[in-house]
Amino acid sequence: MTPKKFALTAIVAVCLVSVALWGQSPSSSVTGACHVSPIVSDLDRSAQFYHDLLGLDLVPEPGPGSMPWDTDAGHLDLHGLPKAKLRFIGARMPGVRCGVELVQFDHVARKAVNRRMQDPGSAMLIVLVRDLRSIFEKLKAARVPVVTTGGAPMIVGASKIPVVVVADPDGHPIERGRRGGGVAALAADQIHPVAEGNVLARQPHHDLSYAAGVFDVRTEDGDLHSR
C-alpha cells in the first residue's frame, strides 16, 4: 500500500463542540463523519478561494462560467427553505470522499453573520498541511485576513506545532497547521488529507452531554468520540 493510499482517511466533523470521530465500534449508532458546510454569500468566489489558495479539489470539477443552481427540490425541503434557490460544491482533500461542502442560498432573506472567534456558534475548520510556509505566503499575497496575533504562523504547545488561523471570504475561520514535526514541518509539499471541525459552545459540559446522548458518542478529554 502506498503512503498516499494509507493516508486516505480524512474526517471533517462538526458536532456542537470539538468533535473528532476517528473510529467506531459495532455498538455505536454513529458510522462516521462527512462534510462541514460553510454557508457562503458567493459560491464562485468561495470555490476559487478554497481551490486556488487552500489547495482543495473541487468536486465535481466545475465547468466554465458561474456554477449552476441545484434543481433537486428535495435539497431545499431538507434545509427547510422550499422557496429558495440552492447551489453547492465540494472542496476536498485529494483522494478523500468527504471534506468541505460550500453552500449558497438565494431567493430568500439572508443576513451575513460575522461571528467573532469567541462567540458561541462560531465554527472553525482545521486543515493539516505539509508545507505551511508556502501556503501562507500564497494567502498573504492574496491579502487574506489573518486572525492569529502577529499576522503570521506561530509555534504552539509543547509539541512545537506551527499553526496559523485565517479567514475565508465570508469570515469563517480556518486553522492551518502541521501535525507533529515542529519547525521542520514548515518545509514539505502538499496538503495532508486530514481535517477536523470545532464549534464553540455556550455551556461545554451541557453541550457535551447533549451530543453524547443524541449522537451516541462518548466524551474523552473534552472531546467527543464514537462509542
pLDDT at position 16: 34
Taken in order of first residue, the domains within the chain and their CATH numbers are 3-226 (3.10.180.10)
Distance CA 197, CA 127 (A): 9
pLDDT at position 172: 94
Tell me the average pLDDT across 181-206.
42
Give 136's contacts (C-beta < 8 A, 6+ positions apart).
Answer: 152, 153, 164, 176
pLDDT at position 95: 74
**More confident: 31 or 38:** 38
Distance CA 51, CA 149 (A): 25
Chain segment 121-151, per-residue pLDDT in tens: 888 998 888 889 999 999 999 999 999 999 9
Distance CA 176, CA 22 (A): 20
pLDDT band at 7 (very low <50, low <70, confident <90, very high): very low
pLDDT band at 218 (very low <50, low <70, confident <90, very high): low
Beta pairing class for 154-156 and 191-199: unpaired
Ramachandran angles phi, psi of 139, nearest 5°: -65, -40
**DSSP β-bridge partners for residue 101:** 90
Distance CA 129, CA 138 (A): 14
pLDDT band at 81 (very low <50, low <70, confident <90, very high): very high
Ramachandran angles phi, psi of 74, nearest 5°: -60, -35
**More confident: 21 or 53:** 53
Identify whether the C-beta of residue 30 lies closer than 8 Å to the C-beta of residue 215: yes
Is the pTM value of this prediction over 0.85?
no
Percent of the chain scored above 90 by pLDDT? 47
